[in-house]
Structure 1
Amino acid sequence: MRFHERALPRWLPWFLSVPAAPHVQADADSDAYVDLHTFQTVKAFEELRQTGVLEGSPRYWEPDFAEAYGWMKREMDCRLPTSGDGMVWMWAATTRRELLNSARRYRGEVLISVRLPRKQVLLSHFGDWHSVLNRTLLIRGDRDLPWPDWEARFDRSWDEWSERTSHCDQMSLASWPRPLREELERSWQSIFDPSAWVESYDGASWVPARHIQATTHRITLDAVTRAVRLL
């Protein structure tokens, strides 16, 4: 049943509020619909109820990570058929434990579940996204390599990159030498590649990624399937 536009969110204790964790298939047909969850402030939810639309805005970006958000925004503009000034962040795949941990942190706010067309959503690896946030080279996992071989390759690549970019530490990314900046940003493309989505190595094989985030330019009220105020 769709969330009625005049309805208020249900009030539930945070530990009873979490629905099934989403698990979006990255290769889902572009015409398919996907279920997603997002934690939003009461103010944001009221904006959604009153206007029918919740859009992201650069004014909410954390200043320390504005470069990373700007890069993600440009990728969305290139990859999605929609447009907008900002981003709405959601969980596309995660664990129930992670949702519960988030619900505890967001007590007093609203957990919103939405169903959106797959083509309006950009999926990315949550853990590897931190390479973008921290302006570090993303050295992708390799399912075909045993962990010791991959770790040795990682160490070599990291040391070589650190030596070449040591003079850039205090510079804005826009001020980096262009070849280095382009090489760095090319490495970040892996966060969108499902073949590179691994979580860890368990001693025998690579573990598939469990935490996938989603970004979209906006969500509309008619896409909301559930809304819960977290006590």
Structure 2
Amino acid sequence: MRQILVRSAPPEQAIPPGRIGYDLDAPILLLHTIQTGVAYERLLSDGVLRPSPELAATEWPDAYAWMNRMMADRLPTTGDAALWLWARIRRYDLVSNCRRASRSSDPQVLLTCRIPRERVLLSQFDEWHSALNSALAVTMGPGETDESFESRYSEITDAFLARLEAANVRNSPISEWPADLRAEAERSWEYIFDRRRFDRRSYWQATVHEIRAEDVTDAVTIVGAPS
């Protein structure tokens, strides 16, 4: 297995200065993720890092289960859970993520990866919150004004909420919704995978079933700034 050289750096130096260089059209995608030191050691020892399903976020089990199903449908790889990476984010915000990681009591490692796009499912970060919130996703139509969209959005979501009220499940997990309402909401979320719907400034996240040692081009243990 190829050795991964790890260095230590404060958040501002963990990422090289200048433009990061993300390209969502590239056959090999540039991705970043912050993993625990324990996960990094497992990557070194096993040559591969896979997620632990028991460590998945517990606040949004239905949204994460849906994403796992989307990965099973759209990727050639298999697995029980996802590893999450950034596929496009401003350097300023990636540094901010590193600052938060530097305050952890456990070592945190920023991994720079290059992974073939066929192993990666890209999704738009902001609109992923429709799934997290168990909300119906309503998209803006071509040439639609903000005012027209807001009016249509209110009409559609109010009608959908009324149907949830009628089924007595408005405050219930989506897993307890009637099948037709659940299917309608989940179908609406799929637009987060369609890059044509979003502008070039959008932040994109990536999910994969595994990170292989050969995917990693840089590893940085994030340390706090000296006092």
User: Separation in 1 of the partners of 2:39 and 2:32?
Assistant: 14
1:216 equivalent in alignment to 2:216: no
Alpha carbons of 1:21 and 1:151: their partners in 2 closer, same or farther (altered >3 Å)?
farther
SS of the counterpart of 1:40?
strand
Residue identity matched to 1:152: S
Task: Identify the residue that residue 226 of structure 1 maps to in structure 2.
Answer: 218
Aligned identity (percent) is 35
Equivalent residue runs for 1:118-197 within 5 Å? 118-166=117-165, 167-197=168-198
User: Separation in 2 of the partners of 1:95 and 1:66?
Assistant: 28
User: Separation in 2 of the partners of 1:156 and 1:212?
Assistant: 29
Farther-moved stretch of structure 1 (127-136 vs 16-25): 16-25
User: Separation in 2 of the partners of 1:42 and 1:88?
Assistant: 15
Where do 5+ consecutive residues of structure 1 fail to align?
199-207
How many residues are treated as equivalent by the alignment? Answer: 215
Runs of 4+ in 1 over 4 A off after TM superposition: none
* Alignment RMSD (CA, Å): 1.7
Deviation at 1:171, TM superposition (A): 2.3
Equivalent residue runs for 1:1-231 within 5 Å? 4-5=2-3, 7=5, 9-19=6-16, 20-21=19-20, 23-25=22-24, 28=25, 32-107=27-102, 108-166=107-165, 167-198=168-199, 208-231=200-223
- Normalised TM-score (structure 2): 0.89
- Normalised TM-score (structure 1): 0.87
Residue identity matched to 1:214: A
In the alignment, is the contact (CA less than 8 A) between 2:88 and 2:205 conserved in 1?
yes
User: Separation in 2 of the partners of 1:140 and 1:57?
Assistant: 33
Where do 5+ consecutive residues of structure 2 fail to align?
none
